[in-house]
Amino acid sequence: MKGKGENIENFLYGNLHKVTTPGRYLGVEVNSFHKPFYSSHVRWALIYPDLYELGMSHLGLAVLYEIINEREDSMADRAYLPWTDMQDLMRDKGIPLFGLETRRPLREFDLVGITLQHELNYANVLRVFALSGIPLRSEERGAEDPLVVGGGPGAFNPEPLADAFDLLVLGDGEEAVGDITEVVREWKKSPSRDRKGLLRELCRLPGIYVPSFYRPHYREDGTLAEVEPLEGAPLPVRKRVLVDLNSYPYPRRPLVPLVESVHDRASLEIFRGCTRGCRFCQAGYIYRPVRERDEEILLRMAREMIDSTGFEEISLTSLNSPDYTRIDSLAGRLADEMEPLKVTVSLPSLRTDTFSVKLAGKLRRVRRAGLTFAPEAASESLRRSINKGVDEEDLYRALHAAYSEGWRKVKLYFMIGLPGEREEDVEEIGMMLRRILKGKGSREPLVGMHFTVSISTFVPKPHTPFQWVSQLSLPEVARRHFILRETLRMKGVTFRWHDREMSYVEGLLARGDRRLFPAVVRAARRGCLDNWTEQFSFSRWEESVREEGLDMAWYVERERDRDEVLPWDHLDCGVGKDFLWSEFEKALRGEITPDCRFDACAGCGACQGEVRLRLAADGV
């Protein structure tokens, strides 16, 4: 076994000069732990199934990396998906995917944790298996193989990949990784090392889903009849919720990327969850309830992170940062404290209102990139149906505030294909832009302001009120793009749109079931790495799904009945199916559900027992 580590080291020193950006493969980042690879430790490898530059920007893995390494009984290394030039070299020389710090094959770890951030990453996940030589299916793995653990938002419907995972963590990972570590630590001491027994124990931990203990039964029409739990596994699997974020103030000493990364800065998570209730947004449901960190704790975390990294920027992250109860105070104090250090404070997400614009102005940031607003839909009725509580007046006001603060570049996000969308609603996007540019009533026209209108295709996601609806067919997306191209042809406006075929594959995997697994395997073997645009191929996906006797449109375009058993019904994110259905009906009626952070509880079900909405101003 020893020789293998040396092999990898020799391979690196003999080949790093041949690849682009060798800094991705060194593992010597400032704040890396480099804990020894003792067998008495529970050894985790944390994987982000995409390039280093993306993986290093991911907050969730940074948190878990520190928590696991700070424990005495465990260690964590990490790996990302090497770029294709490195993949080719590794394959040529027979070098398996390895942990960057230990330079040990992933196969030698006890646990390999893979985060599922996006459906278009699923083929990349399978590439991780191919490169590491870990047997692909859970059932094919033996006592010497690592346990493969999934996590991230994808864990709320991992079914298209479920056969590849031994277990998945639903919800917050901070406490779950500790629980898993303890069970595995004891199991490693047991003489029998019975893998099934271990899984049986793990599935009793809160938030742990062991796919092999759930057997789906299908009806003749292809829909699910039921998902049957085996081995006494719980039904449903409830997600894990960290009751109080203050108890886990991580990261404290984040890794400093060696190579310039997508988010090359300190990220301060000011709260988790969002209850705005946008009906298309999965994150808005699966991360409930809102839990804010206290201001003092955040300030301390910020200091510690800047002290330990030398980052020149700190970003206040969350699903909707201006919503933080004490945002004005926090942003002001942080900006003051960081000023002498010449560290800039930035705000990644902006609401469509003047408050947000003023706040961003105060932080003197974002200017380079321009401002971004997401009205999502141009017609009032459609915005009501998705529960986006902004009207056109709000947008005008926000734009004028931005204009007078000196911003001249604005990005506007819209979606097409929302349930109930008519042709007029699509045309309305162009009309809205025209109204903005011309000025309306007493309002000045925004002379010299440039708009980038970015259009994505709505993809229905599990655990949202729109989980039952149909996604637009490809020809229909093309037709609506055509309308947009015509109506958005005006000075001062640039039109951009997402690749419709990618959104289609995203839709397929988002609401897929276990029967898709062999198709994903085929697509991955054919070389699909969807996130890396040049390696995306719709025809390969089509072929792969067809060869498995399945129909893409059945998954993507079919409207589901209220009573249909959905492939993710046995996974409980806290928000009840009945609540989601009532939200769906309210969407059809154009009724708004207010945010429980500012209004009454809507009864979504996420708050139970100790788990509840926590605001920083509470003084708890």
Binding-site ranges for ligand SF4 (CB under 6 A): 275, 288-289, 596, 601-607, 613
Mark 238-270 as b/e (b = at least 16 C-beta within 10 Å).
bbbbbeebbebbbbbbbbbbbbebebebbbbbb
> Per CB under 8 A, which region of 109-117, 134-142, 359-367, 375-383 contacts another protein?
359-367
The set of residues, in sequence order, having a beta carbon less than 8 Å from that of 565 and lying 6+ positions away, is 223, 224, 225, 226, 227
Looking at 8, 11, 29, 57, which residue binds another protein (CB under 8 A)?
29
**Residue 359 C-beta: closest distance to another protein, Å:** 16
Strand, helix or coil for residue 96: coil
* Residue type for position 510: A
**Residue 612 C-beta: closest distance to ligand SF4, Å:** 6
Instruction: Calculate the alpha carbon distances from 181 to 35, 42, 73, 184, 200 in Å.
Output: 16, 6, 8, 5, 15
Confirm or reject binding of residue 367 to another protein (CB under 8 A).
yes
**Residue 150 C-beta: closest distance to ligand SF4, Å:** 25
Strand pairing partners for 78?
46
Pairing of strands 42-48, 214-218: unpaired
Confirm or reject binding of residue 36 to another protein (CB under 8 A).
no
Instruction: Calculate the alpha carbon distances from 205 to 186, 210, 233, 451 in Å.
Output: 15, 10, 10, 50
607 contact choice in another protein, ligand SF4, none (CB below 5 to 8 Å, kind-dependent): ligand SF4
Residue that the structure tokens 């025809």 belong to: 539
Confirm or reject binding of residue 2 to another protein (CB under 8 A).
no
Cα–Cα distance between 451 and 493 in angstroms, integer? 5
Q: By rule CB under 8 A, what string of x and - marks binding of each residue 298-317 to another protein?
A: ---------x-xxxxx----
604 contact choice in ligand SF4, another protein, none (CB below 5 to 8 Å, kind-dependent): ligand SF4
364 contact choice in ligand SF4, another protein, none (CB below 5 to 8 Å, kind-dependent): another protein
**Residue 103 C-beta: closest distance to another protein, Å:** 11
Confirm or reject binding of residue 93 to another protein (CB under 8 A).
no
Count CB neighbours of 179 within 10 A. 17
**Residue 573 C-beta: closest distance to ligand SF4, Å:** 11
Would you mind telling me the total number of residues written for the chain in this entry? Answer: 620
Cα–Cα distance between 278 and 411 in angstroms, integer? 20
601 contact choice in another protein, ligand SF4, none (CB below 5 to 8 Å, kind-dependent): ligand SF4
**Residue 275 C-beta: closest distance to ligand SF4, Å:** 5
Confirm or reject binding of residue 16 to another protein (CB under 8 A).
yes
Count CB neighbours of 201 within 10 A. 16
Confirm or reject binding of residue 230 to another protein (CB under 8 A).
no
Confirm or reject binding of residue 256 to another protein (CB under 8 A).
yes
**Residue 603 C-beta: closest distance to ligand SF4, Å:** 6
Q: Which is nearer to ligand SF4, 242 or 449 (CB)?
A: 242
17 contact choice in another protein, ligand SF4, none (CB below 5 to 8 Å, kind-dependent): another protein
The first and second tokens of residue 525, run together, are: 């073997």
CB 566 within 8 A of CB 461: no
Looking at 4, 5, 23, 229, which residue binds another protein (CB under 8 A)?
23
Q: Which is nearer to another protein, 93 or 364 (CB)?
A: 364
CB 70 within 8 A of CB 94: no
CB 212 within 8 A of CB 139: yes
- Contacts with another protein by CB under 8 A lie at 14, 16-18, 21-23, 26, 28-30, 256, 258-260, 307, 309-313, 341-342, 344, 364-365, 367-368
